[in-house]
Amino acid sequence: MLEILENYRDGILETIFGNVNHSIVVVDRNGFVSYMNDSYCDFLGIDKESVRGKHVTDVIENSRMHIVAETGKEELADLQYIRGNYMIAHRIPLRADGEVVGALGMVLFRDTEEWLKLNSHIKDLFLELESYRNQMKQLNGVSYSLHDIISNSSEMHILKDKIKKVAPGDVSVLLRGESGTGKELFAHSIHHLSERNTKPFVKVNCAAIPADLLESELFGYQEGAFTGAKRGGKPGKFQLADGGTLFLDEIGDMPLQAQVKILRVLQEGEVEAIGSVTPQKVDVRIIAATNQPLEELIAQQKFREDLFYRINVVQIDIPPLRKRPGDLRLLAKYLLEKVTERIGKRVVDFEPAVYDCFLEYHWPGNVRELENVIEAAVHLTSNEIIELDDLPDHIKPDALLVDEDRSLKAIMEAAERQAIERTLKKVHGDKGKAATMLGIGKSSLYDKVKKYDL
């Protein structure tokens, strides 16, 4: 192999770099030119044979290739003044057996005109895209689409595929998942991918509106319907969402009386504003979301079974963050960028122990809690890297055991939960192995896994 490389090195380099548009140069560890492709020679106006073996500083103005070959530190997209203009170059150290043996230089743009053209072209496209996104947002209240759902895990990949399949139809979708798992993001994405995407997306938070106001919020009212009613009346969320999507968030908290009325609207496609005698036709797609166990609420007669079947045509179950550790690192990096951009502070990464801590914590508030923890850490840190000390105490593993405000039972349960979680992680979820390691029976482990929702 070495012999081939030695004997045919020029031929190999020529095959790889000879026909590419970029200008390429290779220097040895002392900065002497070993190879320069035709594109670079043409650009410099020099003869290919004459450059071989010359020191790079004698061939290229302001070159830093010899420095990169000596320090082993790459320089990406660096500006270099050459032949009366600035060009943009990458300089990458070449290594063999861990040692720097030379450097590869690549000119990306030969003059500022070239990259300015590309830069302004891309900028123009971005600005155009941004303006369309803003218009869409103003038009229909949607600010997120599927590409805003950051994930790596196969679980989320499957969910995104499911969303793509159900979005175009008109079927009702029930989004289930703990608080902060991204149900609203999914609701926006479904609307965004549906044929209704030029029509309004209207959200109703069923838990936030007092029961006695919910009906007028949902169905609207006519002028004079009650004392204090606005002149001219007020359209309800159903009327506002006509042609588009109505997102019923926290549907498990909807009072029974309103449930009956919603069911009637969904069955008849007509809504009657308070005080009105003539029903109005409405065409809305329903997306509902809840973190409550609706089946239990049905058993307790707090939620209507017929409404449940109506809204639960397709169900999307979003797993809690602790059940998709594959998403944690990516989400943490994404949220760090989002938070630092918002706050305007330069913090670029987390130390490895922080990622470990994130993986161990059980995130009851899911992605929303992760964002809050990261925001607090960004405010607190004095470095560019977030350290364990910058995190709030309650998410650090040992804090569970020393919190004086908790009862002994709570402390013991927290310790038990942590021990089981760590062991399961160690044995990649093999419950038999975990039970043996912990010295408990398999069925006892199953009970505890269920109890702590691991």
Ligand X SMILES: Nc1ncnc2c1ncn2[C@@H]1O[C@H](COP(=O)(O)OP(=O)(O)OP(=O)(O)O)[C@@H](O)[C@H]1O
Structure tokens of 395? 């998410």
Stretch that binds ligand X, among 34-42, 113-121, 143-151, 414-422 (CB under 6 A): 143-151
What are residue 235's phi and psi, to 5 degrees?
-75, 150
Q: DSSP label at 322?
A: G
Instruction: Give the number of residues in contact with ligand X, rule: CB under 6 A.
Output: 17
Instruction: Find the binder of ligand X among 104, 163, 367, 424 (CB under 6 A).
Output: 367
Q: Nearest approach, Cβ of 127 to ligand X (angstroms)?
A: 24
By the rule CB under 6 A, 368 interacts with ligand X = yes
Pairing of strands 349-350, 314-317: unpaired
By the rule CB under 6 A, 184 interacts with ligand X = yes
Residue 151 or 280: the one with the smaller Cβ distance to ligand X is 151
Residue 184 or 272: the one with the smaller Cβ distance to ligand X is 184
- The CA distances from residue 413 to 358, 420, 436, in Å, are 20, 11, 20
Pairing of strands 99-109, 23-28: antiparallel
Q: Which helix (H) or strand (E) holds 39?
A: helix 38-44
Residue 177 or 244: the one with the smaller Cβ distance to ligand X is 177
Stretch that binds ligand X, among 268-276, 342-350, 367-375, 427-435 (CB under 6 A): 367-375
Instruction: Find the binder of ligand X among 179, 239, 340, 436 (CB under 6 A).
Output: 179
Q: Nearest approach, Cβ of 298 to ligand X (angstroms)?
A: 20
Site string for ligand X, 278-307 (x = CB under 6 A): -------------x----------------
By the rule CB under 6 A, 185 interacts with ligand X = yes
Q: How many other C-beta atoms lie within 10 A of the C-beta of residue 212?
A: 9
> Burial level of 312, CB count in 10 A (0-12/13-18/19+)?
middle
Tell which positions 213-252 bind ligand X, by CB under 6 A.
249
Q: Show the beta-strand stretches assigned E in 209-250.
A: 220-221, 234-235, 245-249
8 A C-beta contact, residue 248 and residue 289: yes
Q: Nearest approach, Cβ of 139 to ligand X (angstroms)?
A: 21
Q: Nearest approach, Cβ of 293 to ligand X (angstroms)?
A: 14
Structure tokens of 18? 């000879």
Instruction: Find the binder of ligand X among 150, 427, 449, 454 (CB under 6 A).
Output: 150
At CA 275, angle to CA 271 and CA 279, rounded to 5?
Answer: 25
> d(Cα 35, Cα 21) in Å, to the nearest integer?
16
Stretch that binds ligand X, among 110-118, 135-143, 176-184, 439-447 (CB under 6 A): 176-184
Instruction: Find the binder of ligand X among 31, 141, 182, 244 (CB under 6 A).
Output: 182
Residue 141 or 177: the one with the smaller Cβ distance to ligand X is 177
- The CA distances from residue 437 to 138, 416, 443, 452, in Å, are 57, 14, 14, 18
Residue 102 or 180: the one with the smaller Cβ distance to ligand X is 180
Q: How many other C-beta atoms lie within 10 A of the C-beta of residue 401?
A: 12
By the rule CB under 6 A, 151 interacts with ligand X = yes
Q: Nearest approach, Cβ of 360 to ligand X (angstroms)?
A: 20
Residue 17 or 334: the one with the smaller Cβ distance to ligand X is 334
Stretch that binds ligand X, among 34-42, 145-153, 258-266, 269-277 (CB under 6 A): 145-153
Q: Where are the alpha helices (DSSP H) in 366-407?
A: 366-380, 399-402
| Contacting positions for ligand X (CB under 6 A) | 149-151, 177, 179-185, 249, 291, 331, 367-368, 371
